[in-house]
Copies of this chain bind each other. A is one copy, B any other.
Amino acid sequence: MSTPLIGVLGGMGPLATVDLLHKIVEETPASRDQDHVPVVVWNVPQIPDRQQALAGNGESPLPTLLHAIRQLNRLSVSHIVVPCNTAHHWFDAFAEVSPAPLVHIADATLYALTQADEAKASPRKIGLIATHGTLNAGWYQQRFAAQLGAETVVPNEQEMTTLFVPGCYAVKRGELQHGGRLLEQLAAQLVERGAERLVLACTEVPPALEAVSSRWRDISIDPTRALAQACVRLWLQR
């Protein structure tokens, strides 16, 4: 295999992309610049809103996303990752046009969950914080059930409207504290309903919980960090 060159299809939102890049640096065992993972990033946020498109209220982001996939491939990337859970709705369409294979964020997360719980009993209930698009797609729920035998606890419609959606858009506006407080409340509700672990499956959520030093970070799996770890594994396997 030739040297890896990770392509990042970013911009959804731009801060989530920066967060992935930061976590790739953090997760890499390195003693000098040259040890770090080579990455090319398409961080162009002029993409129609994914949540609105999936709700039937807006233009499809697919043509713009396929353009980005093609641009990354022009630079001969070896793999592509997408630091946006919701955008995985179009994962099969990306894979169809991309010579470089794509790493699915839910596969990376399952790997991280398995590693985290290796020594302990596997969780019976996992809380999932995600957009409507991701929740409806069922990627995480299916994997939790099939691979871990675990049940998924999801936010109800009222929690989505009053906590998740405003929290997520607050982060996109740069209001991390405000967003963090709303998402912290949502995390508490899922734990209240029995979640032993939380999967923060929207890339806006981990930076927001970090900003408010949330107590739930200890039981949380951050798919962005899991995706970063997957990139580092590809680099170290070269």
Interfacial residues, chain A to chain B (CB-CB below 8 A):
3, 5, 11-15, 17-18, 21-22, 24-26, 30-47, 49, 71, 74-75, 169, 172-174
Contacts and interface: CB of A to CB of B under 8 A. Distances in A.
B32 A40 contact: no
A97 B71 CA distance: 21
Given A26-B174, A41-B41, A44-B5, A36 B21 contact: no
A173 B31 contact: yes
A36 B41 contact: no
18 contacts: A5-B44, A11-B33, A12-B33, A14-B21, A21-B43, A32-B169, A32-B173, A33-B47, A34-B46, A34-B49, A35-B45, A38-B45, A39-B41, A40-B40, A40-B42, A40-B43, A41-B43, A75-B75
A83 to B, nearest CB: 12
**What are the 8 closest A-B residue pairs judged by CB atoms, nearest first?**
A38-B44, A41-B41, A13-B33, A33-B45, A14-B36, A36-B45, A39-B43, A18-B21
